[in-house]
Amino acid sequence: MRLHLIRHPKPSIEPGICYGQLEILAKIEMAEIARLRAELPPGLPLWSSPLLRCRHLAEQLHAQPIIDDRLAEMNFGDWEGRPWDDIPRHELDAWAADLAGYAPPGGESPRAMQRRVLAFVASLTVPEAVIVTHAGVIRTLLADWLDLADEEWLTVAPDFLSVTTVERDANGQVRRVMNR
Domain enclosing residue 128, as ranges: 2-179
Which candidate, 96, 91, 76, places its Cα nearest to that of 19? 76
Distance (Å) of CA 115 to CA 101, 109, 112: 12, 10, 5
Q: What is the pLDDT of residues 140-175, one digit of tens each?
A: 999 999 999 888 888 888 999 999 999 999 888 889
Q: What is the pLDDT of residue 172?
A: 85
| pTM score, whole prediction | 0.94
Any idea what the CATH number is for the domain that residue 123 is in? 3.40.50.1240
Which candidate, 71, 92, 84, 85, places its Cα nearest to that of 141? 71
Strand pairing of 174-179 and 128-133?
Answer: unpaired
How many domains does the chain fold into?
A: 1
Q: How far apart are CA 174 and CA 96, in angstroms?
A: 28
Look over the chain and give the mean of its residue pLDDT values, rounded to a whole number: 95
Q: What is the pLDDT of residues 109-120, one digit of tens each?
A: 999 999 999 999
Q: What is the pLDDT of residue 105?
A: 98
